[in-house]
Amino acid sequence: MLALALPPMGWWPVIFVSLPLVLAVWRRSPATLRGAASTGFFFGFGYFVAAFHWIGFAFLVDAETYLWMMPFAVGGLAAFMALYWALAFAASHLLKHRGIPLAASLPLAIAIAEVARGYFFTGFPWAAPGLIADGMGGVLQLASLIGMPGLTYWMVLWGMSPCLFWRLGPFFSARNVLPVLLLLTLPAGWLWGNWRLSALRYDGVPGVSLLVIQPNVSQDDKWRSDNAAPMFEQLIAMSSAGAGMSTHIIWPESALPFLIDESAAGLKRIADVLQPGQTLITGAIRREKGTTPESDRFFTSILEIDDEGRVEEVYDKWRLVPGGEFLPMAWALEPLGFRKVVNLPESFTAGAGPQSFDLDKAGQAGLLICYEVIFPDRLLENEKRPQWLINVTNDGWFGHSVGPYQHLAQVRMRAVEQNLPVARSANTGISAIIDGAGRYVVRSELGVETALTGPLPQAGAKTLFGALGLLPALLVCLAASVTIAFSHTRNDRR
């Protein structure tokens, strides 16, 4: 039920039902550490299976080869992520026996578990409860203060609030002052967010216009060698049609099934299309040759190509997708028949870390390839703030599922957290230009061929979350939990 609150459904009121229900189940479980961990694990497992089910679509692209892996990938990933929630419930159980109420401990424990989920074992913070704010209007603007981790805390606390009333007796009792105040933080946050939205206006960067290409090539066709030339010509034609209105053209992740930086003819063709002063930013597969073909290293990259067909700058993706671009514990899994989904002879090589391109009048652009945009931390090169973000992706693996919508919601979250515009080009999925408040300047539909043109919104002022990262979220969450615990202790003494 809780997964229904995530995009694209956005049925956020279910948090007031699902979280009280799991607490009711917990109270009927054995009052032991094992019982608490078990409740947290199965609650998390159900949530993550529902939230991650779109991953299964990737195994249908080449079903004959990969379909058998689907239940292991989706179920195994959900079970592994549920371990974090099992630990959160176990920690809350221990604190409860030391007099700390669940309302103080569980939201904080889940928020910490979600931060850990984004760090350890390469990290995978997809579907954090804080993402529910995407469907809650002005509440999303709280991300500028406390980020997605802080929003996770408040989603759990707000969802648990009906239990606080139930435990404390008559609604108008003095003991209900704190629950009422906690509930009021929701409309207060909503009103503040709506005020922020009305106050924020972003002019376009002078002399800069973007052309974002979404070719909508199906995953079945994308890596066929006989489709390379038609795909290239499609991108060229779509770029030519809007070239006169743009200064920067953006192609999606791995836009072409060949090594464009090694193709003199391909670079010349691009130069013929680009007008003087225009720049192409494209996702690409890149190779660094070794002494033998077996020692070649492959990267999934973003290239900046100028109007003379020269590759000016290169960014290599450094957060690779486990099971997609590399196989974790390959030494153990490969003998069992497991393979990574992207069909290269070797796994991709990770890049050095965050990087920005200097794009002349458009300023510094931070670069994020696909999966990298789901992380709220380490977006920027040496914490050097760019003027905008570029996200290239290929959501074709996930078809017409909820996956592309959830991916887009995380792009919006990053825009609000940093108060920076984002230009997003998807091979197929949803492309968009988004301003620093998370509003769409232009947006495509899922699964259509389209070329989006629009201005580049100016960057907004640095946010609290952008300046201090997790620190303000942690302090707010700790302060709220300490206040709840203190109020609980006082009420018990009366």
Catalytic center residues: 253, 317, 370
CA distances from 283 to 257, 301, 316, 369, 485 (A): 11, 6, 10, 8, 50
Distance between CA atoms of residues 113 and 89, nearest Å: 10
β-strand pairing of 422-426 with 432-434: antiparallel
Distance between CA atoms of residues 108 and 149, nearest Å: 10
For residue 17 the two structure tokens come to: 């039902």
β-strand pairing of 356-358 with 364-369: antiparallel
Give φ, ψ of 288 to 5 degrees.
-110, 115
CB 229 within 8 A of CB 191: no
For residue 167 the two structure tokens come to: 């435990």
Cis peptide preceding 293, ω within 30 of 0: no
- Non-local (6+) Cβ contacts of 479 within 8 A are none
Among 280, 209, 295, CA closest to 249: 280
Distance between CA atoms of residues 133 and 186, nearest Å: 11
- Non-local (6+) Cβ contacts of 65 within 8 A are 339
Which burial class, exposed, middle or buried, applies to 171 when counting CB atoms under 10 A from its CB (0-12, 13-18, 19+)?
Answer: exposed
